Amino acid sequence: MSFFYKTKSMFLPKIRENKIIALAGNPNVGKSTVFNALTGMKQKTGNWTGKTVSNAVGRCHFGKNEYMLVDIPGTYSLFAHSAEEEVARDFICFDKHDVTVVVVDATSLERNLNLVLQILEVDRNVVVCVNLLDEAEKKGIKIDLNKLSLLLGVPVVGTSARSKKGLNELLQAVNDIITEKRVTYRNTIEYPRILEEAINIIEPEIRKVVDNKIDSRWLALRLLDYDETLERAIKKYLNLDLINMPSISNLLEEARNYLTNNNIEKERIRDLIVESIAKRATEIYSKCVTLAKKEYNERDRKWDKILTSKLTGIPIMLLIFAGIFWLTIVGANYPSTFLSRVLLGFEDKLYNFFEFLSFPEWLNNMLVFGMYRTVAWIVSVMLPPMAIFFPLFTLLEDLGYLPRIAFNLDKYFRIACAHGKQALTTCMGFGCNACGVTGCRIIDSPRERLVAILTNNFVPCNGRFPTLIAIITMFLVGFSGSSFISALILILVVLLGIIMTLVTSWILSKTILKGEKSSFALELPSYRVPQVGKVIIRSIFDRTLFVLGRALVVAAPAGIIIWIMANTYIGDCNVLTYCASALDPIGRALGMDGVILIGFILGFPANEIVFPIILMGYMATGSLTDYGSLVELREILVANGWTITTAICTMIFCLFHFPCSTTLITIYKETGSFKWTLLGFFLPTIVGMFFCFLINLII
Residues 6+ apart with CB under 8 A from 536: 391
pLDDT tens column, 331-341: 777 787 788 88
Beta partners for residue 54, in sequence order: 47
Which of 42-56, 378-392, 636-650 is most confident?
Answer: 636-650
Count of C-beta atoms within a 10 Å radius of residue 644: 10
- More confident call, 50 vs 184: 184
Q: For residue 282, name the pLDDT band (cuts at 50, 70, 90).
A: very high
For residue 538, pLDDT over 70 is answered with no
Closest by alpha carbon to 684, among 576, 588, 600?
Answer: 600
Phi, psi values for residue 673, rounded to 5°: -130, 125
- CA distance linking residue 374 with residue 560, whole number of Å: 9
3-state secondary structure 352-376: HHHHHCCCCHHHHHHHHHHHHHHHH
Closest by alpha carbon to 70, among 37, 33, 21, 103?
Answer: 21
Percent of the chain scored above 90 by pLDDT? 29
- CA distance linking residue 479 with residue 489, whole number of Å: 14
Question: Pairing relation of β-strands 126-131 and 99-105?
Answer: parallel
Closest by alpha carbon to 647, among 411, 475, 503, 420?
Answer: 475
Phi, psi values for residue 564, rounded to 5°: -60, -45
pLDDT tens column, 219-248: 899 888 877 788 888 888 888 888 888 888
Q: Average of pLDDT values for 459-465? A: 83
For residue 184, pLDDT over 90 is answered with no
CB 444 within 8 A of CB 81: yes
- CA distance linking residue 69 with residue 87, whole number of Å: 16
pLDDT tens column, 486-495: 767 888 898 8
Q: For the chain, how many helices (H) and strands (E)?
A: 32, 11
CB 140 within 8 A of CB 293: yes
- CA distance linking residue 74 with residue 425, whole number of Å: 17
How far is C-alpha 85 from the geometric centre of its chain's CA atoms?
Answer: 15
For residue 207, pLDDT over 60 is answered with yes
Q: For residue 24, name the pLDDT band (cuts at 50, 70, 90).
A: very high
Would you call 27 exposed, middle or buried from its count of C-beta atoms within 10 A (0-12, 13-18, 19+)?
A: middle
pLDDT tens column, 549-572: 766 776 778 788 888 888 888 888
Which of 174-188, 439-453, 625-639, 640-654 is most confident?
Answer: 640-654
CB 126 within 8 A of CB 215: no
Beta partners for residue 101, in sequence order: 23, 127
Q: For residue 497, name the pLDDT band (cuts at 50, 70, 90).
A: very high
Q: Average of pLDDT values for 380-407? A: 78
- The long-range contacts involving 626-633, CB below 8 angstroms and separated by at least 24 positions, are 626/340, 626/344, 626/377, 630/470, 630/473, 630/474, 630/479, 631/479, 633/470, 633/474
- CA distance linking residue 427 with residue 409, whole number of Å: 11
Residues 6+ apart with CB under 8 A from 486: 329, 469, 472, 473, 477
CB 692 within 8 A of CB 590: yes
For residue 628, pLDDT over 70 is answered with no
Alpha helices in 211-309 (DSSP H): 216-225, 228-233, 246-261, 266-288, 298-307
- CA distance linking residue 529 with residue 506, whole number of Å: 37
Query: What are the C-alpha distances in Å from 353 to residues 356, 367, 377, 559?
Result: 5, 12, 20, 20
Instruction: Share the mean pLDDT of the chain.
Output: 83
pLDDT tens column, 105-152: 998 898 899 999 999 998 888 999 999 898 888 888 899 999 999 999
Q: For residue 484, name the pLDDT band (cuts at 50, 70, 90).
A: low
